[in-house]
Chains A and B, each alone.
Chain A
Amino acid sequence: MNLTLKIWRQENPQAKGRFEKYDVKDISSDASFLEMLDILNEQLIHEGGDPVAFDHDCREGICGACSLYINGRPHGPDTGITVCQMHMRNFRDGSTITIEPWRAKAFPVIKDLMVDRFAFDKIIQAGGYISVNAGSAPDANVIPIPKENAETAMDAAACIGCGACVAACKNASAMLFVSARVSQFAVLPQGKIEAAKRAKSMVAAMDEMGFGNCTNTYACEAECPKNISVSHIARMNREFFIAKVTDSAKK
């Protein structure tokens, strides 16, 4: 296939970015999208140009590093997968593809298509864990957990922290990301103990890091490569509500 690429180029966080056009030729439709970018980069190096910087590592949809906004959609046209899992057969020969970084205040551009997602770690630090230390755990089968709950927890835990939900949201809200973690622990007996407190502190951290509010447009769910459901947001809101009620009762 022959393609025209319109790619966002930005030297560094301070620089003003711009789109640049590139042509790539004879790309196999069996190549992955990132392999197509590898080919472009080899070409650019040979021509004495600067290769395009983009984040990636596992290239199998699990590390959450890849983060490209393609033709107006996070992770591109196919659903339920990350861009590293997408193959060129999803595009038509001769077409033009626009590639941008995630755009959100809380994810500043580092270079070209790479953004800084440190804010996600900050949110997790605010309470996205169960507070137990190594060495103190009881036998794993002491507390049976209904299969259904374990499955729900796993559905939520499948989040790869890529940030597509934020990129898809017109408010750049991180609600889906936050709720997935809150929900995973809220349905497990081990995590239930801190559930309300966790919801409250993680939401506070989210606000602090500059993410927007959730206005229920559900673009996040539609673009999530792991199909994380917005039902987790509802569960988080419940925990959040409990925390608020307990707080005011204490007062």
Chain B
Amino acid sequence: MIKLDSKVPEGPIADKWNNYKSSQDLVNPANKRKLDIIIVGTGLAGAAAAASLGEMGFKVKIFGIHDSPRRAHSIAAQGGINAAKNYPNDGDSIYRLFYDTVKGGDYRAREGNVYRLAEVSNNIIDQCVARGVPFARDYGGLLANRSFGGALVSRTFYARGQTGQQLLLGAYGALMKEISRGSVEMYPRREMLDLVMIDGRARGIITRHLNTGEIERHSAHAVVMATGGYGNVFFLSTYAMNSNGSSAWQCYKKGAAFANPCFTQIHPTCIPVHGDYQSKLTLMSESLRNDGRIWVPKKKEDAQKIQKGELRPTEIPEEDRDYYLERRYPAFGNLVPRDVASRAAKERCDAGYGVGSTGLAVYLDFEEAIQRLGKNTIEARYGNLFQMYEKIVDDNPYETPMMIYPAVHYTMGGTWVDYELQTTIPGLFSAGEANFSDHGANRLGASALMQGLSDGYFVLPYTIQNYLADQINVPRFKTDLPEFEKSEKEVRERINTLLNIKGNKTVDTFHKELGKIMWEYVGMERNAEGLKKAIEEIKTIREDFWKDVKIPGEPFNVNPELEKALRVSDYLEMGELMALDALERKESCGGHFREEYQTDEGEALRNDEDFTFVSVWEFKGKDKKPELHKEPLSFEFIEVKQRSYK
């Protein structure tokens, strides 16, 4: 039975983190060298944590799927990173960033954690600039900002459309520095396949070397999972192909509870699906909504003609266009949060006003912005995104409006952690997108990069130290202990079982089947009937998978099909938990929209009385129903309101 203690420190919200830091336990420098920390994941959270802990003097081992840490999924983030610097003098503050994040998350996040995030946001920008991140600047040489959804201030720092790349390269540089200093050891092309526990604490991992297939054992005093989100359960998403939630799932099965699995973010501005051979979806950054206006035809006849290719968007006069976000949400207009924008697009398309050959697209139009600012300015702001769009769609967005549609993009849910980012397994920490901590039911744009770096640069270095303070007399662990033996054996058996099925259907076939069900029933709109159906269908696919999957090749050597199969076998279980969680949460909030619970105007209708809690799921064994625990949320520093962007 798990115990949930959020460990949020006492005191006024603005003092909590300081109070924590001034009363935490420390480890002296000589002892740090004797303590090993495993970090799984080289994205912003993992790279930043490894570099910082290495700088402090701990012995760090970092693992990643890629040949180089720089290829982690964080590299793909485009739009920007938030901070409460208030450089534009438009009324921003730490409190306002905190407030916007809690409100944006539809009051389903923990106040203490979010405040800390807002508090360290400014240090992140300082740190990145010191490390040579080339953020955009104004002519006076100072840092520039742009606006993102869900905020009325300009607080987003950016490096063209490649902010994630630049932040990751900054953290990667620091990591490389520590590797050359000898404090961090890098294990590239390793996939974690199990967590090893000794006497109830996380003490190591089992990995597979993706080039040689070798199964390896690694031990440490503490383990950090910074393995990213699980959105690839849906098959089609904006995630990189190798992103996966498997390590969180392995830890879940060892006792690390999983929080809010149903909170997934569907991003409103992605390039629409074009064919069944499609492997992934491409995001068009939210920053485009600073200048682009979203619309569909006012008349259904026009929409139908466009779908048939008989009419072009540029031929539709201004008065026949429905700028539905500006119409429905005059205060925030095109900059409403993602969940609201996505649902509004779906609503219009379902009603028959969608465009493109499938009718599943809306326009994002820059005509007015180009007239107002000139093509050069638009090119300077979004040039690389426009180029990316043109290469994929073969259409010039300077001349015809872009076509966009919502796609799976981020998972707010994840491994449950307390204020120290520690999971329900002592010694196991989770950082970045892999944990559930800061975004409630909906994440605001430019806040994931902030959270990843906050966790890695500024939170874990303190909290892990606090955990390790009483471990200084624990000697390094040998990997020939029976616990390692057992874990490795299980991993090998799992691989052999998969390879020996020798069925008829490829891994992707199963993954696509699962993805269709997830998108249909556990996607943008959910209802009880659909969710029950999803649970049943996922079970059927799972049974079929274990009977009929076909994986070529051997366990040793490079084997991408085996890698995928291991992950898909986990998705086939995670998908079910996501549906179950969505079924149990009988309210609409943020990215979780239940058809049964909406206002007369079609907005999400929360049920604060019964659902102001974090859903925390505990694994109870194979084929057994997991147990739902509730971490109640209380709001002392923010007044809980109906979220309105009108």
Residue numbers of A with Cβ under 8 A of B are: 11-12, 28, 30-32, 34-35, 38-39, 42, 44-46, 48-51, 53, 55-65, 78, 80-81, 85-87, 89, 110-111, 114, 116-118, 120-121, 124-126, 128-141, 144-147, 150-151, 153-154, 157-158, 160-161, 184-185, 188, 190-191
Contact = CB atoms under 8 A, between A and B. Distances in A.
Interface stretch (B160-168, B396-404, B492-500, B571-579): B160-168
Interface in B120-138: 123, 125-132, 134-138
Contact of B240 (A49, A59, A80, A89): A59
Nearest to A131: B177
Nearest to A157: B134
B241 interface: yes
A139 B458 CA distance: 16
A78 to B, nearest CB: 8
Contact of A130 (B55, B142, B173, B242): B173
Given A111-B558, A150-B137, A89 B129 contact: no
A191 B167 CA distance: 16
B68 interface: yes
A124 B176 contact: yes
A45 B48 CA distance: 40
Given A44-B552, A49-B552, 5 more contacts: A42-B508, A51-B560, A89-B394, A125-B179, A146-B141
Given A53-B560, A58-B76, A62-B76, A147 B173 contact: no
A141 B277 contact: no
A36 to B, nearest CB: 8
Nearest to B128: A140
A188 B159 CA distance: 15
A133 B127 CA distance: 8
Given A114-B558, A125-B180, A137 B134 contact: no
B391 to A, nearest CB: 5
Nearest to B242: A57
B85 interface: yes
B506 A134 contact: no
B458 A134 contact: yes
B294 interface: no
A134 B550 contact: no
A58 B90 CA distance: 36
Contacts of B173: 124, 128-130
A209 B560 CA distance: 28
B134 A57 contact: no
B66 A129 contact: no
Contacts of B628: none
Interface in B411-463: 457-458, 461
Given A59-B279, A188-B134, A144 B140 contact: yes
Contacts of B130: 130, 132, 136-138, 190
Interface of B: 48, 51-52, 55, 66-73, 75-76, 85, 87, 123, 125-132, 134-143, 159-160, 162, 164-166, 169, 172-174, 176-177, 179-180, 186, 188, 211, 240-242, 274-275, 277-280, 282-283, 387-388, 391-392, 394, 457-458, 461, 506, 508, 550, 552-553, 557-558, 560-561
B136 A150 contact: yes
Nearest to A39: B277
B126 A138 contact: yes
The interface centre, meaning the residue of B75, B128, B140, B553 with most chain A CB atoms within 10 A of its CB, is B75
Contact of A87 (B48, B394, B561): B394
Contacts of B188: 118, 121
Contacts of B174: 129, 133-134
Contacts of B55: 133-134
12 contacts: A28-B277, A31-B278, A34-B279, A62-B76, A62-B162, A65-B66, A85-B392, A130-B132, A131-B177, A134-B48, A147-B139, A158-B162
A-B residue pairs, 4 tightest by C-beta: A144-B141, A129-B173, A137-B130, A153-B134
Contacts of B126: 137-140
A128 B175 CA distance: 11
A118 B67 CA distance: 7
A251 B148 CA distance: 55
A170 B259 CA distance: 53
A238 to B, nearest CB: 18
Contact of A58 (B75, B128, B132, B211): B75
B558 A190 contact: no
Contact of A154 (B72, B131, B134, B394): B134
Nearest to B508: A42
A232 to B, nearest CB: 14
Contacts of B129: 137, 140, 190
B467 to A, nearest CB: 19
A121 B68 contact: yes
Given A50-B553, A110-B558, A134 B52 contact: yes
A191 B279 CA distance: 40
Contacts of B69: 121
B176 A147 contact: no
A81 B129 CA distance: 28
A56 B392 CA distance: 17
